[in-house]
């Protein structure tokens, strides 16, 4: 099979590898589309993130068609259209033509979305759902969200609105990002343009002069400090990035904040496949029922080095314009 390989010097190359065969309880998927995520380029640059990499092939989510079954597979069939978050739980990453995965982690694709949309859903969707479940939102909660036009932020906003919750203020920094939020029903009264406004002053003004019960930080670094500043005492801080600063840690400690670190890594390490499957089944049900709309995607190209490099650069420079980047394999 063809695959994009990460070399020792962090360059990429297109290589030819043996096509993996499924073992007991596993299925092989012919990959049709791949979602691209910030962690993909971060694995090339950051030793902390590199620990998630278990093969020289990057990529953590996909959609495709089951084309081979191992023994004792009883739920899926050859020809099933599926999607999943692969992470470090498969034979390789998803920048490839094939992958072998445990049957328990693979979910039938929502019938009313494309392969491209399905490929862009698992990583951001599962993370956003974990944010939503752990923030403890109620009818009186006020929420501040940084990076709302990004993959996780966009889906979190969609989940909040799907549950008829609109008491939130978000940040965005480009006209494309702002428009992408407006397209899903976010109003000007809920958006802070961080390139034109003082974030703290604008966010408080849009929250009737009050700080927030919950802060969800999808950006980190300086915005981690701002998120902490905007939090009420004993508030809830949802950390999606792990990009803290010493100042943000001090702010959160002095606020008495409850901090939730959002990570799917521990579920992969412990091979808790049911967590991933349950999350995707929930999102699938919401999408098929019309309660949640899959995010817009930008098909950035086909399986080659140039496509991946272009996608990584766009992700690194935050130039996705409110759309999820996907790569076609076939």
Q: What confidence score (pLDDT) does residue 51 get? A: 67
Provide the token pair at 298: 């930008």
Residues forming CATH 3.40.50.720 domain(s) in the chain: 125-261
The pLDDT tens digits for 128-170 are 999 999 999 988 899 999 999 999 999 999 999 999 999 999 9
Supply the mean pLDDT for the chain: 95
Provide the token pair at 296: 């817009």
The pLDDT tens digits for 192-251 are 999 999 999 999 999 999 999 999 999 999 999 999 999 999 999 999 998 899 999 999
Q: What confidence score (pLDDT) does residue 108 get? A: 98
Residues forming CATH 3.90.180.10 domain(s) in the chain: 2-121+265-328
Q: What confidence score (pLDDT) does residue 318 get? A: 81
Identify the residue with better confidence: 104 or 88: 104
Return the CATH fold of 2-121+265-328: Quinone Oxidoreductase; Chain A, domain 1 (3.90.180)
Provide mean pLDDT across the span 300-322. 93
DSSP string covering 161-191, please? HHTT---EEEEE-SHHHHHHHHHTT--GGGE
Share of the chain above pLDDT 90, in %: 85
> For residues 273 and 103, what is the distance between their CA atoms, to the nearest angstrom?
9
Provide mean pLDDT across the span 179-202. 96
Q: In this structure, are residues 224 and 217 in contact, taking their beta carbons and an 8 Å threshold? A: yes
Q: What confidence score (pLDDT) does residue 8 get? A: 86
Query: Confidence class of residue 12 from pLDDT cuts 50, 70 and 90?
Result: very high
> For residues 217 and 224, what is the distance between their CA atoms, to the nearest angstrom?
6
The set of residues, in sequence order, having a beta carbon less than 8 Å from that of 82 and lying 6+ positions away, is 29, 63, 64, 65, 66, 76, 106, 107, 108, 109
**What DSSP designation does 318 have?**
T
Provide mean pLDDT across the span 278-289. 98
The pLDDT tens digits for 23-82 are 999 999 999 999 999 989 988 887 666 666 788 999 999 999 999 999 999 999 999 999
Q: What confidence score (pLDDT) does residue 49 get? A: 66
Q: In this structure, are residues 36 and 84 in contact, taking their beta carbons and an 8 Å threshold? A: no
Decide yes or no: CATH 3.40.50.720 for domain 125-261. yes
Q: What confidence score (pLDDT) does residue 29 get? A: 98
Q: Which of 167, 125, 127 is nearest to 286 (CA)?
A: 125
Residues in the chain: 330
């Amino acid at each position: 099979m063809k695959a994009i390989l990460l070399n020792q010097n962090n360059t990429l190359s297109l290589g030819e590898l043996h096509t993996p065969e499924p073992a007991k309880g596993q299925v092989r998927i012919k990959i049709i589309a791949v979602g691209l995520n910030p962690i993909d380029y971060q694995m090339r640059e950051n030793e902390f993130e590199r620990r998630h990499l278990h093969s020289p092939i990057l990529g953590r989510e996909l959609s495709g068609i089951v084309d081979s079954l191992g023994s004792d597979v009883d739920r899926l069939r050859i020809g099933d259209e599926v999607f999943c978050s692969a992470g470090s739980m498969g034979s390789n990453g998803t920048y490839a033509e094939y992958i072998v995965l445990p049957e328990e982690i693979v979910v039938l694709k929502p019938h009313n979305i494309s392969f491209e949309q399905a490929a862009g859903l698992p990583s951001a969707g599962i993370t956003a759902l974990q944010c939503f479940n752990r923030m403890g939102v109620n009818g009186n909660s006020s929420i501040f969200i940084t990076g709302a036009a990004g993959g996780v932020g966009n889906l979190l906003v969609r989940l909040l609105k799907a549950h008829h919750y609109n008491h939130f203020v978000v940040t965005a920094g480009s006209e494309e990002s702002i428009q992408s939020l407006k397209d899903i029903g976010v109003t000007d009264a809920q958006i802070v343009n961080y390139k034109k406004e003082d974030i703290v002053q604008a966010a408080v003004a849009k929250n009737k002069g009050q700080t927030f019960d919950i802060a969800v930080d999808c950006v980190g670094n300086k915005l981690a400090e701002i998120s902490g500043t905007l939090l009420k005492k004993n508030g809830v801080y949802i950390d999606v990035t792990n990009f803290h600063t010493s100042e943000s840690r001090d702010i959160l400690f002095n606020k008495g904040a409850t901090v939730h670190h959002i990570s799917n890594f521990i579920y992969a390490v412990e091979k808790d496949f049911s967590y991933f499957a349950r999350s995707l089944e929930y999102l699938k049900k919401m999408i098929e029922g019309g309660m949640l709309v899959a995010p817009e995607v930008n098909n950035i190209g086909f399986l080659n080095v140039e496509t991946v490099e272009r996608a990584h650069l766009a992700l690194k420079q935050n130039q996705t314009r409110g759309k999820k980047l996907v790569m076609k394999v076939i």
